[in-house]
């Protein structure tokens, strides 16, 4: 096979990528397959006719890379074999707080159950090869770990303890049950119970526990802000700027240089404004609106909307340290009262923040919209703008929604220069809102909350937030710009990352239909042959708006939806009912938006004759210098950005759970009214009214009876008494236990109190007292359904308005596993555990 290049189907690709090409992965796999037996590296080199030192080193690296990626396995005899020839399954390990776990296969097949003994070899998140070793008692495929392909964690965050002179760390992540032994003399001075970060030096084996060195003492247990410091490390969120990034950031001037303003469309005369929250620090979008026509008297119908977005791509160059770090971070992370930015403050709060009364560089989307709310034209261009006012949602709402109030009158006088244009924005918003309803976008009612801190960073209050028309006005402007962006990508055939929200999975739709049928409702298929359309969902929501069980039905509808992801393969956005949708409006805090800006600039700076760009004489540049991405690279970036988005959401949710547990630990024994937010085979999740904290009433703590889970009706029904607990019912519960380590809160039904069905009142029943164990004992899984519902709400809002997602938590869906075995009958007794404080355990399997 000395002439391997003539047999290699990817020889041209290899020759283009490498000065001294070697056999492609495809050829190596084919050769091993035809060879009929594993081969050592030396044998492969000889069979391919490779003799030079450079070729041998390149082959060694390729084989190691194929082993790392799970294509090959290195056998104990020192040979390489294709994984698929050994009946091995490649996947990601998902641990469980009870010590067992699962291997989630890459090919989408059924998970492999991993016993606690097998889980002692791996950590949650590791990529591993396993073989099917048999079936467990529940008929699930059981696996045995053959090889760990890659480790998910180089270090572990947890609490340090010493017993009999031996130091060890208990991981904060409950999915990691192994204790990590600390090398003698390598504890960095950690004291008993402190949070530390331990770097793994010896991985676990069948005979030995993992071992490591403490590299950082994070701080004392319960210290203010410790919840964020722990989450950053537990979820591997980059939060320290590398020296190269700091160096590049320090080179940036504090204000825009005059030379950078040249050869751009000058819009400084237009009264752009920013509209954000009261405590916003980075202003990445500004808007301006005018009627179409040469002047307002010649108004022919429709508006011209200008959406100016900070021109981040001007400052963050490809292959720079800033770009590399932004790609690793993927997005900014918004914790309560603390932000981990994607870009340094010199950019996020400085040059790329559209602060009032200063010149800023922007990428502008100029959109023509008809009087019926249809986009008739759009153009993109590099510009320089000058924000005329920094407005807040509340101020704009007062001016537009309560113009006759004392506050409204005062603000109208203060902002009289921009008021006429705000009125035009408001008129445009009302037309866009009507068009949204006509389009059939799904409009779920949501209740967001905000944590208010008191002394010592302890929660003083959990306050519901109110969305006014100013929020919705900006939301519609951002939607319009994002839709124009997707159209631009498709028009010019540019490979790009789209924001994809796929249709609901058929099995979830069937469950939803079964639930609706029991209520005398239906989800009309409309004109679609593939299942219900977004408009079908919206029509159903509108038809049930006045029903007392509206929120119950809406919750079940939410759970039927998929989750949005980033992908180079455009599949449309189901929730917003768009055929194509992309994120353009937040390049300060989302890497996909930065990629989109580069894609747009690659057209603006090209010679292409197109009506969808404006130019002001800037130099033509090769596309490879601005946007060197193909579909394959973009798909990888899409997966990475989707992962970092989920990572941020999970970390944020974990922090909020921690804070809510702190908030409730002094309220053990108190009674609160609540609403059942989810029903599972192991119990009821209840959210307390007015304080928005959630916990679990375990099935074994329900009044003495056998309770059966009815998934169609979302209820637990007593076998003898006929008593039932249903999603949406009002109950009164007593706080029994708070476990900060597990982020769980246990409730029991208050003595003599009753469950009140959604929209009705009825009699009640006694609660059963019970106990819960410490961390590591058997505990009920978290409320993944509730997490998913909230995630979908926030995902849809985030996709509507780029800023709306700051601090919001979206999550993956999951398959909850019952600790008490298969769902079915349960007997009154001691509860087996609690619930995450806001209704969520970390997920096992993502379903986007």
- Cα pseudo-dihedral 243, 247, 248, 251, rounded to 10: 170
Q: Do domains 87-150 and 155-221 have the same CATH topology?
A: yes
- Are 744 and 714 in contact, with CB atoms under 8 Å apart? no
Cite the DSSP H helix spans in 492-564: 506-518, 534-543, 550-559
Q: What residue has token string 């802000």? A: 225
Q: Is 438 helix (H, G, I), strand (E, B) or coil?
A: helix
pLDDT at site 3: 67
3-class SS of residue 68: helix
Class of CATH domain 87-150: mainly beta
User: 576, 441 in Cβ contact below 8 A?
Assistant: yes
Q: Which fold has domain 4-84?
A: Arc Repressor Mutant, subunit A (1.10.10)
d(CA 129, CA 115): 15
Residues contacting 825, CB < 8 A, separation 6+: 706, 707, 708, 719
3-state SS string for 663-714: HHHHHCCCEEEEEEEEEECCEEEEEECCCCCEEEEEHHHCCCCCEEEECCCC
DSSP string covering 820-839: TSSSS---SS-----EETTS
> Quick one: pLDDT at residue 411?
96
128 within 8 A of 147, measured Cβ to Cβ: yes
**Fold type of domain 155-221:** OB fold (Dihydrolipoamide Acetyltransferase, E2P) (2.40.50)
pLDDT of residue 232: 96
- SS3 assignment for 555-583: HHHHHCCCCCEEECCCCCECCCCECCCCC
332's CB contacts (< 8 A; 6+ apart) are 339, 340, 341, 342, 348, 588, 589, 590, 648, 806
Ranges of each domain in the chain: 4-84, 87-150, 155-221, 243-496+579-651, 504-561, 668-836
Regions of the chain where pLDDT drops below 50: 294, 296-299, 759-782, 784-786, 788-789, 793, 801-848
Cα–Cα distance measured from residue 685 to residue 746, given in angstroms and rounded to the nearest whole number: 9
- The Cα–Cα gap between 483 and 801 comes to 12
322-347 pLDDT tens trace: 999 999 999 999 999 899 999 999 99
pLDDT of residue 835: 43
Helices in 1-70 by DSSP H: which ranges? Answer: 11-17, 25-35, 41-47, 53-68
> How far, in Å, CA of 387 to CA of 266, rounded?
13
Beta pairing class for 375-386 and 389-392? unpaired
Measured CA to CA, the distance from residue 140 to residue 111 in angstroms comes to 8
Query: Strand, coil or helix: what is 578?
Result: strand
Query: In angstroms, rounded to a whole number, what is the distance separating the alpha carbons of residues 70 and 118?
Result: 19
The residues with which 738 forms a beta bridge, in sequence order, are 745
- For tokens 């005369």, the residue is 269
Among residues 105, 48, 35, 40, which one has the least CA distance to residue 74? 40
**CB-based contacts of 663, cutoff 8 Å, min separation 6:** 458, 459, 462, 691, 693
Cβ 179 vs Cβ 169: under 8 Å:
yes
Q: Tell which CATH classification among 2.60.120.380, 2.40.50.140, 1.20.1440.230, 2.60.40.10 matches the domain 668-836.
A: 2.40.50.140
Q: Contact, 767 vs 826, CB < 8 A?
A: no
**Burial label, 218 (beta-carbon count in 10 A; 0-12, 13-18, 19+):** buried
**Alpha-carbon Rg for the chain in angstroms:** 29
pLDDT in tens, 768-806: 333 333 343 334 444 544 454 455 545 555 565 444 444
């Amino acid at each position: 096979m000395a002439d391997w290049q003539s047999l290699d189907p990817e020889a041209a690709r290899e020759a283009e990528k490498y000065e001294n090409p070697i056999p492609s992965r495809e050829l190596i796999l084919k050769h091993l397959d035809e060879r009929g037996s594993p081969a050592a590296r030396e044998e492969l080199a000889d069979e391919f006719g490779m003799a030079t030192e450079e070729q041998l080193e390149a082959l060694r690296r390729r084989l190691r890379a194929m082993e790392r990626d799970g294509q090959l396995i290195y056998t104990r005899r020192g040979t390489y074999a294709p994984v698929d020839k050994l009946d091995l399954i490649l996947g990601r390990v998902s641990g469980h707080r009870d010590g067992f776990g699962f291997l989630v296969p890459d090919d989408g097949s059924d998970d492999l159950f991993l016993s606690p003994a097998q889980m002692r070899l791996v950590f949650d998140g590791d990529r591993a090869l396993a073989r099917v070793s048999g079936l467990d008692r529940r008929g699930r495929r059981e696996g045995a770990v053959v090889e760990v392909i890659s480790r998910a964690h180089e270090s572990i965050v947890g609490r340090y303890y010493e017993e009999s002179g031996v130091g060890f760390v208990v991981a904060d992540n409950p999915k990691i049950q192994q204790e990590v032994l600390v090398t003698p003399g390598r504890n960095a001075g950690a004291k008993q119970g402190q949070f530390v970060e331990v770097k793994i030096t010896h991985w676990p084996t069948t005979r030995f526990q993992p071992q490591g060195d403490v590299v950082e003492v994070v701080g004392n247990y319960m210290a203010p802000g410790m919840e964020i410091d722990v989450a950053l490390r537990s979820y591997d969120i980059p939060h320290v700027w590398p020296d190269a990034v700091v160096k590049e950031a320090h080179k940036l001037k504090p204000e825009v240089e005059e030379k950078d303003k040249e050869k751009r469309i000058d819009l400084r005369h237009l009264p752009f404004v920013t509209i954000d929250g009261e405590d916003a620090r980075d202003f990445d979008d500004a808007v301006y609106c005018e009627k179409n026509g040469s002047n307002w008297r010649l108004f022919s119908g429709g508006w011209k909307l200008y959406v100016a977005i900070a021109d981040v791509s001007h400052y963050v160059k490809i292959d720079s340290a800033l770009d590399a770090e932004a790609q690793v971070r993927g997005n900014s992370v918004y914790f309560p009262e603390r932000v981990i930015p994607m870009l340094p403050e010199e950019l996020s709060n400085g040059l790329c923040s559209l602060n009032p009364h200063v010149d800023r560089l922007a990428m502008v989307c100029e959109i023509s919209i008809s009087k019926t709310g249809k986009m008739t034209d759009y153009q993109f261009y590099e510009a320089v703008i000058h924000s005329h006012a920094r407005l807040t949602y509340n101020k704009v709402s007062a001016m537009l929604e309560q113009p006759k109030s004392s506050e409204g009158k005062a603000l109208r006088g203060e902002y009289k220069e921009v008021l006429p244009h705000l009125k035009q924005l408001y008129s445009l918003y009302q037309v866009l809102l009507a068009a949204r309803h006509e389009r059939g976008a799904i409009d779920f009612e949501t209740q967001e909350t905000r944590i208010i801190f008191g002394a010592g960073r302890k929660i003083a209050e959990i306050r519901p937030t109110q969305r006014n028309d100013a929020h919705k006005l900006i939301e519609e402007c951002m939607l319009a710009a994002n839709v124009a962006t997707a159209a631009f990508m498709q028009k010019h055939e540019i490979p790009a990352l789209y924001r994809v929200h796929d249709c609901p999975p058929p099995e979830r739709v069937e469950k939803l239909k079964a639930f609706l049928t029991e209520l005398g409702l239906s989800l009309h298929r409309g004109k679609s042959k593939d299942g219900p359309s977004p408009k079908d969902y919206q029509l159903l929501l509108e038809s049930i708006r006045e029903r007392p069980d509206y929120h119950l039905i809406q919750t079940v509808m939410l759970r039927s939806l998929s989750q949005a992801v980033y992908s180079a393969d455009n599949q449309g956005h189901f929730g917003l009912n768009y055929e194509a949708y992309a994120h353009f409006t937040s390049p300060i805090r989302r890497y996909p938006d930065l990629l989109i800006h580069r894609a747009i600039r690659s057209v603006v700076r090209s010679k292409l004759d197109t009506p969808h760009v404006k130019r002001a004489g800037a130099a033509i540049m090769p596309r490879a210098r601005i946007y060197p991405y193909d579909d394959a690279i973009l798909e990888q970036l899409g997966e990475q950005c989707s992962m970092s988005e989920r990572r941020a959401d999970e970390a944020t949710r974990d922090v909020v759970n921690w804070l809510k547990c702190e908030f409730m630990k002094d309220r053990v024994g108190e009674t609160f009214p609540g609403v059942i937010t989810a029903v599972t085979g192991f119990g009821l999740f209840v959210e307390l009214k007015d304080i928005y904290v959630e916990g679990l009433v375990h099935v074994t703590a329900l009044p003495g009876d056998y309770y059966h889970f009815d998934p169609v009706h979302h209820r637990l029904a007593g076998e003898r008494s006929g008593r039932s607990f249903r999603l949406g019912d009002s109950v009164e519960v007593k706080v029994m236990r708070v476990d900060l380590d597990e982020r769980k809160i246990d409730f029991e039904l208050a003595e003599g109190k009753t469950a009140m069905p959604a929209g009705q009142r009825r009699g009640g029943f006694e609660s059963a007292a019970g106990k819960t164990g410490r961390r590591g004992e058997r505990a009920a899984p978290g409320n993944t359904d509730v997490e998913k519902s909230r995630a979908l709400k926030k995902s849809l809002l985030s996709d509507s308005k780029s800023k709306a997602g700051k601090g919001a938590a979206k999550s993956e869906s999951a398959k909850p596993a019952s600790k008490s075995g298969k769902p079915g009958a349960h007997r009154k007794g001691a509860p087996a555990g609690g619930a995450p404080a806001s209704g969520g355990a970390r997920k096992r399997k993502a379903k986007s």
